[in-house]
Amino acid sequence: MAQAILTIDLEALRGNWRALAALSEGETAAVVKADGYGLGAAQVARALAQAGARRFFVALAEEGAALRAALGQGPEILVFSGHMLGDTALIRDFDLVPLINNIDQMLRHVEALPGAPFGIQLDSGMNRLGMEPAEWAALRDIALAQNPVLVMSHLACADEPDHAMNARQLQSFRDMTDGIEAPRSLAATGGCLLGADYHFDLTRPGIGLYGGLPFADAAPVVSLDIPVIQTRELQRGETVGYGNTFTASRPSRIATIAAGYADGLLRAMGPKASLMAGDTPCPVAGRISMDLIGVDVTALRQVPESLSLLNRHQTVDVLADWAGTIGYEILTSLGARYTRVYHGA
């Protein structure tokens, strides 16, 4: 079989949720947008529900509908994009909670679904989603009279604990919400780690659940093993792959493995990347192509049937450093061609 195997450790996922939940005295939710950060929202959310999560956040109403089908009735599913045009039937039929981002969404929601639950998203300085202070001041009394289930905002620089933006956003959020009765939320993973001042009534970790920074104590959740299709013996001076970017400096053995940028293995990571055979690193030889990667396995006595790219040595953030990106992009880029295996269901 040439298909690579992506293994998801659901017990590690649950352990990460419990560890982050233990940091706060309030409720802890879970963010499972982008198909559970690429790992399968249905399986991820069911595992987190077993751990105790009762609120889940998604990006789009369509994601919420799919998640409701997986979770059934009971857990609350909140939608970051709010009540968009065309979302009414999904919000109603799948019992979703839109996070209202502006006055147009507020009017749409109360007119189309009077009495249906909703939350409010405020912009405390990120300039992305949510009501700005002036819009919130104009709408505040009307919105609060409708009893929102949550009032939230999002930190822009929480992965940098000493960044001045964190304190500015905290103050802005307090200025907009102190004294309200509705539950409040400001902290995602980075905010969970900033301390109790940022926790309010609900924290909503995302990347930390899946083993990514800034939660440095997270247990690894994913591993990726890629089959070896073929090996070649090279003489000194022979080249590998497109553009002849790898030239053998000695007699070498090259393994060709069955994955590439079509599977989310970013081409930019190639020059720094390696795979593991047990504890032995084997560097990528040449460019990452669409479906294939050459790997220098000269150091191995015997070439295994597969090589490991994601593992306890090489986390999503290690791969991200190789590619000059972040762990979020590595996770959410993982392609559909992998055979996904779930442990600890």
The residues carrying an active-site annotation are 33, 242
> Shortest CA distance to 41 belongs to which of 19, 56, 25?
56
In angstroms, rounded to a whole number, what is the distance separating the alpha carbons of residues 279 and 171?
Answer: 48
The stretches of the chain forming alpha helices (DSSP H) are 10-21, 33-37, 41-51, 61-71, 88-93, 103-112, 133-145, 164-177, 189-194, 316-323, 327-333
CA dihedral for 110, 154, 64, 18, sign (positive or negative): negative
What one-letter code names the amino acid at 170? L
Q: CB-based contacts of 145: which residues, under 8 Å, 6+ apart? A: none
Alpha carbons 278 and 334: distance in angstroms, whole number = 22
Could you tell me the CA-to-CA distances from 303 to 4, 11, 20, 120, 238 in Å, in that order?
A: 16, 31, 40, 56, 20
Instruction: Taking the CA atoms of 36, 41, 43 and 44 in sequence, report the sign of the dihedral they define.
Output: positive
Question: And the tokens for 174?
Answer: 């307090």
Residues in the chain: 345
Give the whole-angstrom CA distance, residue 174 versus residue 133.
11
Find where tokens 């993982």 sit: 334
Nearest to 28 by CA among 155, 176, 178, 183: 183
- As a whole number of angstroms, the distance between CA 89 and CA 285 comes to 52
